[in-house]
Amino acid sequence: MTRATPIPDTVTLHVPFRVVKRGGRKEMQMPDGAVQPRRPDSALVKALARAFRWKRMLESGEFATIAELAEREGIAPSYMTRVLRLTLLAPDIVEAILDGKQGPGVTLARVLEPFPVEWEAQRFRQSI
């Protein structure tokens, strides 16, 4: 465009994507080959934050048992135990979750399932 060319009143921009429902919410799905920026999964980040907070509270002696802490937090001890296991995740997996770079199969439900304690085995499992 030059100064002599008039600026159009409207501009139409076509962006290829489709809307899909995932877990009750709508997300944009980009076409194959398009790079979609990843955002951290807020449920995973929140669970990690809780796990490390609870671990710190137990290690400091503020609470003597998981049952005592769970009662104070108003949750079931079995759930607290599952969430506390997240503190055993490999540091690079935790970092990937916090950066939103975890694989699409890494969900809160999946990481709360039993997983190997060895970091190398965790990396193999998370890449599936």
CB–CB of 77/70 below 8 Å? yes
Three-state DSSP at 25 gives: strand
> Coil, helix or strand for 28?
strand
Q: In the structure, what pLDDT confidence band is assigned to residue 34 with cuts at 50, 70 and 90?
A: confident
Q: How far, in Å, CA of 109 to CA of 125, rounded?
A: 14
Report the predicted TM-score, pTM, of the whole model to 2 decimal places. 0.69
Residue-wise pLDDT for 70-126, tens only, equals 999 999 999 999 999 999 999 999 999 999 888 877 889 999 999 999 999 988 876
